Amino acid sequence: MSCEKPYLSRKTQLLVKTQVDCDTVATLTADDALLVYQDAAVSFELAPNDRSGLASDSLSNRKDVMGAKQGSLTAKIEITGINGGIVPEDTLLKASGLKVVAIKKVYIPKSVLGYIPTGIEIENGTGATGILRVPIQDGDGQAWFEPTAGSFTSADAFLEKQATLTATGANEAINRIKIGSIIGGSLREGDILTGVTSSAQVRISRCTKNGDEYLYCVNISGTVALAERLEGRNKSVVAGSLELAVFRIPVTASTLVYKFREGMTINGGTSATAALVLEEYDGGEAFIYVDTTGFVAEALTSSQLATTVSSDSLVGGFAYSFDSDASDLVTAQLNTDGFARTLWNAESSFTVESEANGIPTMSFTLTGPIEESLTGDITPLVVEYPEADPLAFQGAEFKFLDNGVQYSPVLSSISLDAGNSVVVRKDANSPTGVKSALITSRAPSGSMAVEQVPAAAYDYLSRFFSGRTSGAEWRYTNACGNTVFISAKSLQYSNVGSGDSDGMVSNDISFGLKGKNDDELYIIYTE
């Protein structure tokens, strides 16, 4: 007498491979295997056509006719970093709408000026160039960049590549007024406000919302009095002190390599005037700056970063970021002790989970048509999994980045969600009724739990109420130096709740990842 043995969930293989095109199922081999948690699963959706609406002399229902044959596969893996020169989850990240570029780490003295964000082009003065992929802060001592031409060596100059605008003159004087809270909603550019005491009138020159420190406006008539209320269109604000002189200058783009960002210093090529940019400029008619004299019609340049490379020992790695124009199609098979379920023409979304002292993980959800020929009883492949230690969530060096100011909270957990919307393309020509999966949009988000601190140390609620954004960065690493570095350009809080962590008050924060041109998130792998 024999007894059939059940399939064992611990004996699970995940195979994932990038397809050459959308018409060819990838041939899976042992090299395509990933080490996954045993709760990996596949769900098939056959979209039955309900025929219960048919009428006859009976209340019985005719059998359904199966529609689109599609499914989803979920799997969780440990974050281990680079293993044998490759990133184990590379295929899944590319199927999630990310691209990868090779990057280098160059060591620099801890004397960098200010805060240098991602995307800035740097040069060594003799032809070598690169693009920063991780922001630089005062005291970092290193910079990660994507080489674009030449190479950096010891003692090279490390310069931000200059951008140039042409000023057309006609500086417009702007009042900068310190304010309190705004009643009635945001003040928009062009709004007219009138002083209740002085009857002075001003025109708003920069959109201002609750939480902003200053009001920028052009004087129309009279002089705003200290501490008087300014009113207009069911909105009002109390004026505080008049600050330093501010001007708006019309410009035309000349060689705009990157945007003139808030906090950057610019210089006039003729007047030698120096000014501080208060509003980002990436192509328009004017930008706001602080100065007392003004520019003439002249070239405006900036070179914010200037230091010297201290070592020619370049460490290699890979940087992943979103790509709105491309994502890979993959064939994915989950083989549970010899019973396989397979999807193809699939794309994915992913999440990252990190608990202090725990093993950080990535979870992927793939969506795509069912591949019936590779579904059912299949002999498992013989796989030699790499012996790679996962990266514990310790020594994370988490910090918020606020225009050059750093703050490191006591952090107990953080998670990310790529927020990809993965749909299937319906196709009557396909035997499954489905052509392929496609990422049609994304809304990356996350959450974290941090200890509550006094507002003077770091004011979470003020940032939430005002909509103010902050950068953030952290890492997963081990004693061998294998590291995964995460850089988020712009976190915007969507909720700040109060929680409890072992009797201590915590802030449970939800946030969105914001950006332009696919720069919301960078995932850096290095060893």
pLDDT tens, residue by residue, 357-399: 999 999 999 999 998 888 889 888 888 887 778 888 999 999 9
Report the b/e string of 115-147 with b at 16+ CB within 10 A. Answer: bbbbbbbbbbeeebbbbbbbbbbeebeebbbeb
Q: What is the DSSP string of 267-335?
A: EETTT--EEEE-S-BSSSSEEEEE-SS---S-EEEE---EEE-----PEEEEEEEE-TT----EEEEEE
Q: Is residue 3 domain-resident? A: no
Question: Using the 8-state DSSP alphabet, how is residue 393 labeled?
Answer: S
Q: Is residue 454 domain-resident? A: yes
Statement to judge: residues 360 and 270 lie in one domain: no
Statement to judge: residues 484 and 377 lie in one domain: yes
Count up the domains in the chain and report the number.
Answer: 3
What pLDDT, on the 0 to 100 scale, is given for residue 326? 85
Q: Is residue 51 domain-resident? A: no
Beta bridge partners of 217: 175, 204
What pLDDT, on the 0 to 100 scale, is given for residue 346? 95
pTM for this model (two decimals): 0.75
pLDDT, one tens digit per residue, over 50-66 is 888 888 888 888 888 88
Statement to judge: residues 142 and 153 lie in one domain: yes
Cβ(315)–Cβ(288) under 8 Å? Answer: no
The residue to which tokens 């199966």 are assigned = 66
The H or E element that residue 464 is part of is helix 460-466
> Which of 274, 290, 318 is the endpoint of a domain?
318
Q: Is residue 4 domain-resident? A: no
Statement to judge: residues 141 and 217 lie in one domain: no
Statement to judge: residues 249 and 290 lie in one domain: yes
Statement to judge: residues 344 and 488 lie in one domain: yes
Statement to judge: residues 386 and 458 lie in one domain: yes
Cβ(288)–Cβ(275) under 8 Å? Answer: no
What pLDDT, on the 0 to 100 scale, is given for residue 381? 87
CA dist., res. 181 & res. 240, Å (int): 11
Burial classification of residue 203, based on how many CB atoms lie within 10 Å of its CB (0-12 exposed, 13-18 middle, 19 or more buried): middle
Beta bridge partners of 146: 131
What pLDDT, on the 0 to 100 scale, is given for residue 261? 66
Q: Is residue 458 domain-resident? A: yes
Statement to judge: residues 213 and 223 lie in one domain: yes
Q: Is residue 1 domain-resident? A: no
Statement to judge: residues 273 and 328 lie in one domain: no
Q: List the pLDDT tens digit at each of the 527 positions of the chain.
A: 567 888 888 888 999 999 999 889 999 999 999 998 989 899 988 888 888 888 888 888 888 888 788 899 999 999 998 887 889 999 999 999 999 988 887 777 665 555 676 677 777 778 888 888 777 766 677 777 888 888 877 677 677 665 566 776 667 778 888 887 788 888 888 889 999 999 989 888 878 887 788 888 888 888 888 888 889 888 888 888 776 567 777 776 655 555 666 666 777 778 777 777 777 666 566 677 776 667 777 777 765 555 666 655 566 788 899 999 988 999 999 998 888 899 999 999 999 999 999 999 999 999 999 988 888 898 888 888 877 788 889 999 999 987 667 899 999 999 999 999 999 999 999 888 889 999 999 999 999 999 999 988 999 998 898 888 888 989 998 877 788 989 898 899 999 998 888 888 999 999 999 988 888 999 998 87
Statement to judge: residues 237 and 313 lie in one domain: no
CA distances (Å), origin 459, targets 210, 365, 402, 456, 487: 14, 36, 12, 7, 21
For residue 125, give its domain range: 99-162+306-318
Statement to judge: residues 389 and 474 lie in one domain: yes
% helix, strand, coil for the chain, step of 5 = 5, 50, 45
What pLDDT, on the 0 to 100 scale, is given for residue 419? 96
Statement to judge: residues 240 and 363 lie in one domain: no
CATH code, domain with 126: 2.40.30
> Which of 318, 344, 362 is the endpoint of a domain?
318
What pLDDT, on the 0 to 100 scale, is given for residue 104? 81
Beta bridge partners of 201: 194, 221
> Which of 254, 284, 318 is the endpoint of a domain?
318
Q: Is residue 6 domain-resident? A: no
Closest among 439, 426, 366, 327 to 69, alpha carbons compared: 426
Q: Is residue 56 domain-resident? A: no
Instruction: Read off the tokens for 15.
Output: 């195979």
The residue to which tokens 């499954």 are assigned = 432
Closest among 492, 513, 491, 462 to 212, alpha carbons compared: 462
